Structure 1
Amino acid sequence: MSSESESPDLTRDRGLSQLIEGTSTGVFALCAAVTLVTTVAIFVTLLEPALEFFAEVSLTEFLTGTEWSPNPAGGELLFGVVPLVIGTLTVTITAAFIAIPIGTLTAVYLSEYATTRIRAVLKPMLEILAGIPTVVYGYFAFVYVTPALQATLLPNLGTFNALSASLMIGIMTIPMVSSISEDAMNAVPDRLRNAGYGLGATKYEVSTSIVIPASVSGIVSSYILAISRAIGETMIVVVAMGSQANMPQVRDAMFGIPYIHPGDVLLQDGATVTVAMVNIAVSDLTGGTIPYKGMFALGLALFLITLVLNVISDMIAKRYREVY
């Protein structure tokens, strides 16, 4: 009987392993390339007609004009983007005031306070809220929210108004803020929480002084993504806010500084940049006309705004990201 012990064979087929690794690398690189090519293709598609538009309409007129009328009935073509920007900013900022605090507090509750059973119920409900078609939100704002506001707080509220649209967009983006923020909070190691509890901190103190600061990069990223989503929203605004670009009244302050009262924008109808693009797309304007090219100029402006917001989000995430 041999005294030598049999050692296990720990070798493996390197050829098959290398083939799998190489294939996986190629598939992942292809997916990344598709994303990059799609983004570049969108930019190029928007750029050429936009440059043709600015060759006929001055950039100054586009950026400072206060009237937008690309398809007038026998009138002058006007391409001032200011009222569209004001409508977009009004809807976005108002929606952010709703989505950011509610979404953040919801994330804190789900991450730090909710039991497993409650989380199992609330989490799917938030996901359902995120999956509702936006046209349903717009219909709900037009049929229920606006009449309710008119009957209670704001009897002079117009049938089409920015307030109802903003409320619905804010509600629509709550799941985005809460879900991403909760994921960032759950990534904080429990040892940090336990250290706080060991020093005598309460759950509230641990949540606000340890968990939120440690996950601030992910939380801010959720804010930027929600704001980008609100900027690009179309159907809710079309149904609840209207489709006509209106320049609100510019008032003079005590020290001569002009300003726009929020009520002049929120309580009246108006349009956003995306709505103006939809109006051109569904009109009888043919390709090659100045208004048709103006649609691409608006799209390029939205593309650049969203790109800037995403770059800012990435910079903040890198600056404040904690590695555990």
Structure 2
Amino acid sequence: MPLLWLIVIVFGIAAAGYILGRARALGSAGGEIRQMHSLPSYYGSNVAMKVLAPSLLLLLIWLVVQPVWINMSVSGMIPEGEIAEGSNLGLVMAEVRRTADGLDAATAAGLMTQTVANGSDPVAVTEGLKDAGQIVTSDLTPAVLSAAQAYRAEQAFAHLVMVIAVLAVAGLGFLWGMKEAHFDFRARNTVEKGIKTLLIAAASIAILTTIGIVLSLIFNTIEFFRLYPAADFFTLLEWAPSFSGRGGSSALGILPLLWGTLYISFVALVVSVPIGLFAAVYLSEYAGPKMRAIAKPLLEVLAGIPTIVYGLFALLTIGPILLAVFGDDGLGWMQGQRAVMTAGIAMGIMLIPFVSSLSDDIINAVPQSLRDGSYGLGATKSETIKQVILPAALPGIVGAILLAASRAIGETMIVVLGAGAAARLSLNPFEAMTTVTAKIVSQLTGDSDFASPEALVAFALGMSLFVITLGLNVIALAIVRKYREQYD
């Protein structure tokens, strides 16, 4: 049974439970609502809740645990001799899963007679899958074929057991709720507790998601460092991945990528912070209501433009302008349209509304009493802004700049189109460079196996970027606390 149909059936049972539970409770009171402890809808909701909550929770847990359990079970069937030198069990299991998917697709298309029906001959099965359009691998060994067949069988059996278990739990919840559908049952209290639990779970999703992201990064980073030396990753000045079948060994040094990330982000902040901050000061302190009503929405339109459009703008407009000024026809510093300055300027334009909008709100939140006190002492408007308003709003402004910096560090499309893909260490802002995020995308696309070092390095890059962003947050928090104590 497809997963979608299973979910539809569970919700159908819950809907029937709501209607029948409400009617049963109302009938037990002889149709007199005043004799019931709770409104009829609470009794129906109680039945629906007891159907949905346990069954969907079981389904979620099952879908998370099942792949891990089957992977552990089938991996024991792979002999150590099957793992070639320079490979690992993860690479072999990836091949097993691909083969199992090919067998599944062949079964769904009715092509098993020309694939698995060829017996245990892996060559015949491979050729059959190729003829059927289900190419899984060019070298299928008997051990991998047996493991793939076992993987496919266990997956089908586990799915059947899951369907039966989820429907059984939904049915038991239906019977439990119907048993409680009596006029003197405190259905309202039960439903309110259930809603409270649901709200707590919803509030915990952000925390659990963060923990899940961090753990996935940590585990995959550890797996990467088992295959590739950590010292080389953090010290090599070269980024030259060599994928399987292309020869050579990979040089996966993060320093060129990290330098490109910080360099382009720095150029973007140099462009966005002064312009955004000056715009915020003008909008909050100088602009009249009519000008503010027009200028602020127009400025915030920049935040709604897709990043791919900024990338095209950088490639087709900013790059040629810079090349005309700093290229061979000008100062001779720039060799091509793709460069750090091209991506940095485009990214800075994109970040202007992040800085200006947040800074404007923060400056407007400064108490008017501070302005009045400054004017009462004879200060001018510009002196009040420089010596009173901006220092008072500094914690919030730092937060706005931090948000812009985080956005710049995580940008990808503008970098790919505007800065190129060259990983190099250089101080010349008119040379092409790349960033960590751009290489994360490139490493997880293409023909590299997901369990290979060239793919797992994306998690190490992501973990490094996470640590850098966390460090920026800690520094900003220290600055905020220092100045907030001064102006509270």
Residue 50 in 1 paired to residue 230 in 2?
no
For 1:269, the equivalent position in structure 2 comes to 432
Q: CA deviation at 1:247?
A: 3.6
Structure 2 vs 1, CA of residues 211 and 22 (structure 1 numbering), >3 Å: closer, same or farther? farther
Instruction: State the identity %.
Output: 42
Contact 1:91 1:165 (8 Å CA) reproduced: yes
Which consecutive aligned stretches of 4+ in structure 1 deviate over 6 angstroms post-superposition? 21-28
Structure 2 vs 1, CA of residues 118 and 238 (structure 1 numbering), >3 Å: closer, same or farther? same
Residue 211 in 1 paired to residue 414 in 2?
no
For 1:124, the equivalent position in structure 2 comes to 297
Aligned AA for 1:305?
I
Contact 1:243 1:279 (8 Å CA) reproduced: no
CA radius of gyration, larger in:
2
Select the structure that is richer in helix.
2
For 1:317, the equivalent position in structure 2 comes to 480
Structure 1 residue aligned with 2:207, among 29, 36, 49? 36
Correspondences of 1:132-281 after superposition (within 5 Å): 132-155=305-328, 156=332, 157=334, 158-248=336-426, 262-263=427-428, 266-281=429-444
Contact 2:444 2:450 (8 Å CA) reproduced: no
Q: CA deviation at 1:159?
A: 2.6
Structure 2 vs 1, CA of residues 200 and 29 (structure 1 numbering), >3 Å: closer, same or farther? farther
Contact 2:423 2:433 (8 Å CA) reproduced: yes
1:91 and 1:153 map into 2 onto residues whose CA distance is: 18
Structure 2 vs 1, CA of residues 31 and 152 (structure 1 numbering), >3 Å: closer, same or farther? same
Structure 2 vs 1, CA of residues 289 and 233 (structure 1 numbering), >3 Å: closer, same or farther? same
For 1:307, the equivalent position in structure 2 comes to 470
Contact 1:215 1:321 (8 Å CA) reproduced: no
Name the TM-score, length of structure 1 as normaliser. 0.84
1:212 and 1:25 map into 2 onto residues whose CA distance is: 43
2:264 and 2:204 map into 1 onto residues whose CA distance is: 34
Q: CA deviation at 1:208?
A: 0.8
Q: CA deviation at 1:27?
A: 7.3
2:225 and 2:200 map into 1 onto residues whose CA distance is: 37
For 2:248, the equivalent position in structure 1 comes to 75
1:23 and 1:197 map into 2 onto residues whose CA distance is: 57
Structure possessing the higher relative contact order (Cα contacts under 8 Å, 6 or more residues apart): 1
1:152 aligned counterpart, secondary structure: helix
Unaligned runs of 5+ in 1: 1-17, 249-261
Any idea what the Cα deviations from partners look like across 1:16-37, whole Å, max 9, x if unmatched?
xx99x99998777545422111
1:92 and 1:28 map into 2 onto residues whose CA distance is: 38
1:215 aligned counterpart, secondary structure: helix
For 1:257, the equivalent position in structure 2 comes to none
Q: CA deviation at 1:144?
A: 0.8
Unaligned runs of 5+ in 2: 1-188
Aligned AA for 1:274?
T
2:393 and 2:236 map into 1 onto residues whose CA distance is: 42
For 1:13, the equivalent position in structure 2 comes to none
2:450 aligned counterpart, secondary structure: coil
Aligned length: 291
2:449 and 2:238 map into 1 onto residues whose CA distance is: 22
